[in-house]
Every structure is written in C-alpha cells, then in structure tokens.
Amino acid sequence: MNPHNAKDDPFRSLRHNMVSSQIRSRGISDPRLLQVMQCIPRHLFLPHRLQKIAYDDHALPLDKGQTISQPYIVALMTEALCLKGDEKVLEIGTGSGYQTAILASLADSVFTIECISSLSQIAEKSLQALGYSNIHFAIGDGTLGLPDKAPYNCIIATGSLPQLPETLLAQLDENGILVAPVGGRSLQKLLSVKRIGTKVERHDLGGCQFVPLIGKNGWSR
Ligand code: SAH
C-alpha cells in the first residue's frame, strides 16, 4: 500500500476532497488519473511552510519565482494526453516534480527537462524518495525539446509558449499529442495538438495563466 494513502496520513482527507471537489466535479473522469491524484502526496513537493495549503484550489509559489500548477490544471493537461500506460513522455518544466510524478505513474517513462538546476535537483530528490525509477532528468532549454531521445508519444509544456514550435511538433511520434499553454506572456490558451501524418489536429481546452518558458522558442528573460 502507498504509505501516503494510509488511513493515518493526515493529508489523506484533504487529497480526497481535492479530487472530489476540484477535479471530478469539473468533469475529469479518467479513473486511472483520479486514482493517482488521490494517492500522490502533493504536499511533499512543496516547501514545509506551504504544505498545509498544498491541496487548495490554486497554484502555489516555488523557489526562483516559479509555481506549482493548480491541481485541476494538472489534471486537465494530463487527461488531454490520453495516457494508457505504455507511452514515452517529454515534460518541459520539471518545477516541483508533482506533474512529473503523475505522468510517471500513468506512462511507461518520462523525460523531464528544467532550466533551473536547483529546482531539478530538489524535484529529483522528492521523486527518488517516493520510489520512482522511470524518470530521466535533464537540465537545459526545453523549448528545444530533447531531440536525442525523440520521438515521444506525448509532450507537455508546463510553462507558456508564444507559439507552437515546429521543433517540438517534429519530436512527436505518429499520433503523438502535445499539450501546451500558448499565447501571450501572462494569458494563454491551453492547446492540445495531435500529430496525424503531416497534419495536426488542434483542440482548445480553454484560457489559462502559466509562468513563461524562457528559451530559444519561448520568451526572452
Ligand atoms: N510542472 C511544474 C510547474 C513548473 S512551472 C510543477 O508541477 O511544479 C514551469 C517550470 O518551467 C519552472 O520550473 C521553470 O523554471 C521552468 N522553465 C522555464 N523555462 C524553461 C525552459 N526553457 N526549459 C525548461 N524549463 C523551463
């Protein structure tokens, strides 16, 4: 049994409330995703002083001016990837590692790239402590993707992009899905893009607000 879902875990009921009142109630229905969000200890991805509000319905600050996304947004983006269990996933913007944990629980392997090495190291420690062994960490400009390990079945950008970079679309496998917030520096649209041969099928998942991805195909500092 996951020790973080034991009956005496003080965060267990907060996590259950989060899933029922923020996630399921807003239309997320993938049973594997709901189960995983019920179990993963989001509070362990946050600094100690913020742990008691880890399951609240909003984003929270991380070191270096970054943020851990709102639980519902994490769920919405993950559901859009349609993970079945055998996928190779690229995550751009490791941040706290919370989204990484969800991806690694639902897919075969995750490559996660972060441009701030101290954040990557903290996330790696948290994820190792929880026993994940299918995550590969990279430090660098994720707006270029991670071409050495391409193609990916799924790519998820957890920071905003001014447009969809061709470089990332080119690293998607046939029928691969990319989910990313695209638009202005402070307000974006959450897009899900499926690659079908040389064409792409685009879905708009709604408005959102993400921190910017800083890099060659992202924003300048
Ligand atoms: N998924 C994260 C959210 C992190 S916020 C979580 O659940 O905690 C976005 C992250 O993208 C930040 O950590 C930021 O440092 C990182 N980032 C910004 N530009 C980047 C780039 N070009 N390549 C990789 N990571 C980047």
How far is Cα 142 from Cα 111, in angstroms, rounded to an integer?
Answer: 11
Q: What single string gives the DSSP state of each residue in 21-67? A: IIIGGGT---HHHHHHHHHS-GGGGS-GGGGGGTTSSS-EE-GGG-E
Q: Give residue 1's pLDDT band: very low, low, confident or very high (50, 70, 90).
A: very low
Domain ranges of the chain: 58-208
| CATH class belonging to 58-208 | alpha beta
Percent of the chain with pLDDT over 70: 97
112 CA to centre of ligand 1 in angstroms: 10
| Predicted confidence (pLDDT) at residue 136 exceeds the cutoff of 80 | yes
Question: pLDDT tens for residues 24-59?
Answer: 999 999 999 999 999 999 999 999 999 999 999 999
* Range of weakest confidence among 101-105, 196-200, 202-206: 196-200
Tell me if residue 25 is catalytic: no
CB contact at 8 A, 120 and 92: no
193 CA to centre of ligand 1 in angstroms: 20
- Among the listed residues 20, 25, 29, 69, the single catalytic one is 69
How far is Cα 187 from Cα 168, in angstroms, rounded to an integer?
Answer: 21
Whether this prediction's pTM lies above 0.75 is answered by yes
Q: Candidates 186, 210, 211: which one to mutate for ligand 1, based on the most atoms within 8 Å of Cβ?
A: 211
Predicted confidence at residue 115, as pLDDT, reads 98
| Predicted confidence (pLDDT) at residue 10 exceeds the cutoff of 80 | yes
How far is Cα 146 from Cα 171, in angstroms, rounded to an integer?
Answer: 8
Question: pLDDT tens for residues 165-188?
Answer: 999 999 999 999 999 999 999 899
How far is Cα 131 from Cα 145, in angstroms, rounded to an integer?
Answer: 26
Q: Give residue 9's pLDDT band: very low, low, confident or very high (50, 70, 90).
A: confident
Predicted confidence at residue 4, as pLDDT, reads 64
Structure tokens at 64: 């270096």
